[in-house]
């Protein structure tokens, strides 16, 4: 999430009430999660296990819960609770804006786009030309939709990321300040749910087709011309490259990459990154030939046990 205008280290420290290490005028351009940070961004870290990763990332400002040696060319914000203060910054730079109309006045809708009854379109939404949005679709603030996109009834674009910190007495939500980008020529089925990025964008690539009841988690990036069948669940921060086919009821864990032209069969469970250009199935998902050999071996077990019993 980039700020509407550049900030300074001292100004950011004042917003969250923290101390800082670095020049007061050190430039701060935005805030992002570790996997999408760029120079000028703030990244937060609150566990020693991830200190080095944050300090060595592309981010030039690190919001951290311990005073450490500051890398050259960077700055620190010292906080007793970086998670809380990251939320404060999200609220400050991207505050929630209540809806004042079913279709917000700030929404931009392109030529020849059809909006069916009972569609909600939030603030600052942009929808391109020749789109068809069916009844009861909900499009949250700041969503960007390209040209020739079809969205079927009951789909929700822009719900909050499923991202929580486990406090001793409750789950504390990391607030979503990102958005969704739907590129040109995408079809989205009925009752799909696509979550906002936490600070960046959840992206559905050009020409991709989603069947009914597909869920896409926060900050996931789906490439071009992918086919995703019904009841697939994709966690946050997944990268799905171009021309991937995912059949029904596949579950995909967070933070992994599915290579281009991979095919994943129905009801598979994907728990690690998969190389492109191959076919997979099973839980955990693996290559077809390897998985078939495993299944064949398992089927031999009863006969082996029976033979061993006879030898005793």
Q: What six digits make up the tokens of 170? A: 């409750």
Residues contacting 54, CB < 8 A, separation 6+: 34, 43, 44, 45, 62, 64
Length of the chain: 312
Question: Which residue, among 285, 243, 284, has the nearest Cα to 264 in the 3D structure?
Answer: 285
Give, rounded to a whole angstrom, the gap between the first and last alpha carbons of the chain.
Answer: 69
Q: Which residues pair with 166 in a beta bridge?
A: 171
Closest-CA residue to 158 (of 174, 136, 181) = 181
Tell me how far apart the alpha carbons of residues 131 and 114 are, in angstroms, rounded to a whole number: 6
Spatial separation of the C-alpha atoms in residues 97 and 22, rounded to whole Å: 34
- What are the C-alpha distances in Å from 78 to residues 31, 75, 200, 247? 16, 10, 24, 46
Give the DSSP per-residue string, 57-111.
SS-SEEEESS--PPPTT-EEEE-S-HHHHHHHHHHHHS------SSB-TT-EE-T
Evaluate whether 163 touches 218 at the Cβ level (below 8 Å).
Answer: yes
Active-site residues: which are they? 218
- Structure-block tokens of residue 87: 């939320």
């Amino acid at each position: 999430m980039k700020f509407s205008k550049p900030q300074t280290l001292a100004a950011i420290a004042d917003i969250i009430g923290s101390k800082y290490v670095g020049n007061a005028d050190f430039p701060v351009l935005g805030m992002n999660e570790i996997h999408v940070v760029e120079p000028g961004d703030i990244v937060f870290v609150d566990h020693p296990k991830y200190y080095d990763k944050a300090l060595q990332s592309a981010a030039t400002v690190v919001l951290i819960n311990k005073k450490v040696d500051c890398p050259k060319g960077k700055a620190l914000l010292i906080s007793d609770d970086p998670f809380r203060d990251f939320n404060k910054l999200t609220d400050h730079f991207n505050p929630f804006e209540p809806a004042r109309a079913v279709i917000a006045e700030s929404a931009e809708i392109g030529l020849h786009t059809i909006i069916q009854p009972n569609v909600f379109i939030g603030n600052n939404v942009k929808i391109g030309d020749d789109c068809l949005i069916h009844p009861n679709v909900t499009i949250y603030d700041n969503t960007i939709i390209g040209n020739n996109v079809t969205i079927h009834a009951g789909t929700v674009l822009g719900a909050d990321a499923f991202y929580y910190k486990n406090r001793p007495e409750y789950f504390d939500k990391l607030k979503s300040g990102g958005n969704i980008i739907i590129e040109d020529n995408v079809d989205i089925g009925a009752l799909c749910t696509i979550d906002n990025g936490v600070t960046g964008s959840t992206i559905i690539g050009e020409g991709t087709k989603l069947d009914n009841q597909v869920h896409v988690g926060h900050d996931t990036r789906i490439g071009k011309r992918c086919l995703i069948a019904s009841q697939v669940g994709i966690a946050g921060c997944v990268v799905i490259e171009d021309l991937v086919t995912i059949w029904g009821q596949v579950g995909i864990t967070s933070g992994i990459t599915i290579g281009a032209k991979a095919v994943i069969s129905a009801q598979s469970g994907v728990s690690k990154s998969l190389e492109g250009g191959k076919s997979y199935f099973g839980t955990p998902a693996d290559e077809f030939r390897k998985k078939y050999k495993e299944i064949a071996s398992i089927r031999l077990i009863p006969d082996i046990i029976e033979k061993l019993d006879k030898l005793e």
